A and B are shown apart, each in its own frame.
Chain A
């Protein structure tokens, strides 16, 4: 049983300008720290409050869409769910294996062959080399890239690289899947095949959290949605209601 619980989670980012990042300024500031200590924090570092008091509880079977303006905190929330950001305060409890698929071609090496990249990408997803080798044929078949798989992927077109990344990324079924802006893949003929695979893939995942600006994608995939604004959850409920509220909000 996969589950995610967030309690009063807040995340704030210190914004370091080039000057606060340098050790010299830091040392000089420490030396004169006595005088400006009263408002030291506000002077030195501006803080962006990316998430504020987030409470969320997700169970197996949940398909959650995240909607909101740019900078509303959707991606930050996904990163907290994936364990990449540990929050400044609050509690995060995640049960189940989690795969964040923000960039499905993360870690692909342009100079390496298709086969090497399948292994590399699989290792990123948490598979062992042995497990990848066992799936190699199935993945290679699905990409329809044939002999190209023995060539460095810098010789591929963007669409071909996408096929490869897509095929590997959908070959591992995690308990919890975190998606940013969905997964796009290749040309029209491939798209049908991809959709089929994507559906089989997502059906087996326990929890999906998807952040997107496409209302269509959200209402197709998600049963519930979360509307975010300024790092807070504005409302959480059935997709239609939330999307309606979001439309009103946008004007």
Chain B
């Protein structure tokens, strides 16, 4: 637990020192593990979240699919014209990118709200707090499972070469979700304490959408390749998009994403060890 607060010492700083204490780390790891054990609970909660949004509408959750379809078609036709692209290649590329981007951005945006939204439950339920991060990820995954059909429809229509590389997709999604988990825990924690963080994250993610090659192709940016390769989201999108378009996986993208995974988890474990027990006080 914690030391007493010394006068003149900011509580945030004094708690920070606990991030490296072994018992605190063990507790944080236990919280994440015990959260996984309660998966029946958070899977049900996530399902209810999704259903609640579309309850009593005729199409239900298929609105997710439909709105993604409208988006891809409209943007595809528009930007295909602007960029002078052949729709046979461009539309599948856009659909794949959009679906993957939807997954990544929702993981970050929902993740930062994970603890804030669960305020009432956190203060009344003696469950590991990590269940709220899992819950957000699961509803994101449900939305993704609805969206990916848009890609397959477009891919079949334009005769994209769907080959054995498709088998890389589940692995890529798994790695993205593991990244999403640390992002939810980390940004969720930060947002619970500083309520501007979700707003900042929201606008940064919006900018990243345009900076990351989702609606434009990496080849369209010949001179500034460095800016592209320094963008972690480019690599995250690419590990899932490439196999969708039938391309073999590229080592560079995978290495970068795995590096993000390890560094991200190391930082998150430190902060989660130090501040996890404060979440109930903050929300």
Contacts and interface: CB of A to CB of B under 8 A. Distances in A.
Contacts of B52: 109, 111
B214 to A, nearest CB: 28
B153 to A, nearest CB: 30
B87 interface: no
A248 interface: no
Interface residues of B, number: 38
Interface string A84-99: 1111111100000011
B62 to A, nearest CB: 18
A23 B194 contact: yes
Nearest to A99: B126
A14 B275 CA distance: 14
A120 B5 contact: no
Interface in B1-15: 1-5, 7-11
Interface string A103-123: 100110101100000011001
A23 B197 CA distance: 8
Contact of A22 (B2, B38, B127, B195): B195
A37 interface: yes
B125 A40 contact: no
Nearest to B2: A88
Given A26-B194, A100-B125, A103-B124, A41 B280 contact: no
A47 B41 CA distance: 35
A91 B51 CA distance: 42
A16 B12 CA distance: 13
Interface in B26-59: 38, 40-41, 44-45, 48, 51-52, 55-56
Nearest to A128: B40
Contacts of A39: 8
Interface stretch (B90-98, B105-113, B115-123, B252-260): B115-123
A111 B44 CA distance: 14
Nearest to A86: B277
A83 B4 CA distance: 19
The main secondary structure of chain A at its interface with chain B is mixed
B43 to A, nearest CB: 9
Interface in A185-244: none
A37 B8 contact: yes
B40 A22 contact: no
B89 interface: no
A109 B55 CA distance: 12
Contact of B8 (A40, A82, A126): A40
A69 interface: no
A40 B6 CA distance: 11
A84 B1 contact: no
Contacts of A123: 38, 40-41, 44
Interface string A1-40: 0000000001011101000011110100000000001111
A148 interface: no
A91 B2 CA distance: 10
B122 A84 contact: yes
Contacts of B200: 23
Given A88-B2, A100-B125, A41 B197 contact: no
Contacts of A87: 1
A231 to B, nearest CB: 15
Contacts of B5: 12, 41, 47, 88
A79 interface: yes
Contacts of A22: 194-196
Contacts of A119: 44
B164 interface: no
A56 B38 CA distance: 30
A102 interface: yes
B281 interface: yes
A14 B15 CA distance: 13
Interface in A47-93: 47, 79, 82-91
5 contacts: A83-B126, A85-B280, A89-B1, A109-B52, A126-B38
In the A-B complex, the 5 residue pairs with the smallest Cβ-Cβ separation, listed nearest first, are A86-B277, A123-B41, A23-B194, A23-B196, A82-B126
Given A14-B281, A89-B3, A129-B40, 20 more contacts: A10-B4, A23-B200, A26-B194, A37-B8, A38-B8, A39-B8, A41-B9, A41-B11, A42-B7, A45-B11, A84-B123, A88-B1, A89-B4, A98-B126, A106-B121, A107-B121, A119-B44, A120-B44, A123-B38, A126-B127
